[in-house]
Structure 1
Amino acid sequence: MKKIVLITGATSGIGKETALLLVQKGFLVYGTARNTDHHNLPFRLLPMDVRNEASVQAAVQQIIAEVGRIDILINNAGVGITGALEELPTEQLHNVFATNLYGAISVIQQVLPTMRAQHSGLIINIASIAGYMGLPFRGAYSASKGALLLITEALRMEVKPFGIEVTTISPGDYATDIASRRYHAPVIENSAYAQVYQEQLNLMNEHVNSGGNPAEMAAKILKVINTPHPKVHYKQGSFLQKISIALKRLLPSKRYEKMLMKHYHLNH
């Protein structure tokens, strides 16, 4: 019997590449997007805004009505945000957490009753290497993904008795269109942060544009799906990105901060 997979944010980047790979490997894939128009894809696409509980519930109930189960949830929908914390609009701060954290939790809450009844299931939360450290001018994004990492650790222990596995995969920079969908706080003329923030924006876009192929993340997700008892966390990115997490554990905190500031050209 084909395994049923639900992937949020499946019309671009990592979500789309993963959906295409899983279809090719014989999974029955349901993808979601806020806008389902003008997409010609070889899998079912359902409307879902993870920030809207009724929308999440409707999509999950439609899958249950059609096929009776959900074997794998891949929480991939997410948004980026950049800006000096002092200058970030409260509305945009709420939106990044509503999408990256509360949205993921909302989908999990809707699929868990079915997975418990099945006494099986796998939940993969797509976090970020940025969630392991507070990155300058990306603090809100780092915080939303860091919270997702911790929520996953707690959830794993809660649902283990029901035969449900939960894990995270944290990508580094990948060449997706997240930069075009990211909320950028405007560079404010005469702002104390104007020059350094503009430099950071240029650097971030360079990193994304020169990032890895999202197909690498899709392959990693498939590998985790085929792992009987996944680890708590996985990282997928360049050597430098992955070693930065290990260095944070090993180095004194101020030494690590200095290293990050040098990497982002923030040494003054």
Structure 2
Amino acid sequence: MIKKQKVLIVGGSNGIGLALAMRLVKEKSVLIVDKVEPDYSQVPSDIKHLVSFRKFDLLFDDYSLFDEFNDIDTLIITAGFGKLSLFEDMQEETIVDMISVNTTSVLRIIKHFYGSIHSRKPFYTAVMVSIAGFMSSPFFSVYGASKAALKIFIESVNVELKKSGTDNRILNVSPGRINGTNFYNGANNLSLLYPLADEIIYHMNNRNDLFIPEYEEVFKKVLERYHRDFRAEGEHSYEYKQEQLKRK
């Protein structure tokens, strides 16, 4: 019997991470690393036994846990958090934690698997970034900064990978708002997330380096406006988010 390859999903206990786990478990063994157990209410009972779980908080100092996972061929990092808030209202502790979880943890995890990513053997990597990393994002200043750092890191390392001769790449997945997750204090609804999960898997398996969902429909024009006048687009973003907060 041929042993299934294993996928490691960091932050896969809910939202898009869990949706990816449910899609990939059909073909691979899935290991979820997160600080909370998976939302088993969203997992069909007949496949629960196919998903394993290890508890880990990305704010921990010791990342040696990731050295144990030497049998994976796929690494997906979906962990991260954000909060609509003016910078003046953010606590310093929140700033430190957000950069640590959204940015530093990703670099550290990728470092632990870089030998596999850098090799000639096919290895698949995807990181959930955000469209907020491509432009100014008032009310999301620290979150956007954490994602902008990831964007530049991934772009830079992908050049290094190409120049080293490997076909492996790190896929930057940069969506806008995703329906079906608890990011905005909503509820997990995997049926809404499966189409996006399928697209991510497609781009990852083709070892692409960038995927912006709804690029042609929405974000191509947004990014063009931003590059023409980042100040005006920033003000537009401020007013849009201010309206979002009023509706809450």
Alignment deviations for residues 214-233 of structure 1 (CA, whole Å, 9 cap, x no partner): 22321111111231x41x32
* Code of the aligned partner of 2:102: N
| Residues in 2 aligned to 1:256 and 1:83: alpha-carbon distance in whole angstroms | 18
Whether contact under 8 Å (1:85, 1:139) holds in the other structure is yes
More moved, 78-87 vs 97-106: 78-87
Alignment deviations for residues 142-188 of structure 1 (CA, whole Å, 9 cap, x no partner): 111111111101111223326231120112111211123xxxxxxxx
In the alignment, structure 1 residue 167 sits paired with structure 2 residue 174: no
Whether contact under 8 Å (2:137, 2:238) holds in the other structure is no
| Residues in 2 aligned to 1:162 and 1:4: alpha-carbon distance in whole angstroms | 24
Consecutive unaligned residues in structure 2, runs of 5 or more = 244-248
TM score, norm. by length of structure 1: 0.75
Alpha-carbon RMSD across the aligned residues, in angstroms, is: 2.7
Give the match for residue 246 of structure 1.
224
Give the match for residue 236 of structure 2.
259
Whether contact under 8 Å (1:81, 1:96) holds in the other structure is no
CA separation of 1:53/1:107 partners in 2, compared to 1, >3 Å: closer, same or farther? farther
| Residues in 2 aligned to 1:44 and 1:116: alpha-carbon distance in whole angstroms | 26
Consecutive unaligned residues in structure 1, runs of 5 or more = 181-204
| 1:85 maps to which of 67, 70, 87 | 87
The alignment of Structure 1 onto Structure 2 pairs a total of residues equal to 228
TM score, norm. by length of structure 2: 0.81
Give the match for residue 182 of structure 2.
177
Whether contact under 8 Å (1:173, 1:237) holds in the other structure is no
1:108-147 matches, within 5 Å, as 108-116=110-118, 119-147=121-149
1:65-104 matches, within 5 Å, as 69-104=71-106
| Residues in 1 aligned to 2:221 and 2:5: alpha-carbon distance in whole angstroms | 35
SS at 1:10's partner residue? coil
In the alignment, structure 1 residue 220 sits paired with structure 2 residue 199: yes
1:6-45 matches, within 5 Å, as 6-24=8-26, 26-36=27-37, 39=40, 41=48, 42-45=50-53
| Residues in 2 aligned to 1:51 and 1:177: alpha-carbon distance in whole angstroms | 20
CA separation of 1:16/1:38 partners in 2, compared to 1, >3 Å: closer, same or farther? closer
Whether contact under 8 Å (1:125, 1:168) holds in the other structure is yes
CA separation of 1:236/1:63 partners in 2, compared to 1, >3 Å: closer, same or farther? same
CA separation of 1:166/1:115 partners in 2, compared to 1, >3 Å: closer, same or farther? closer
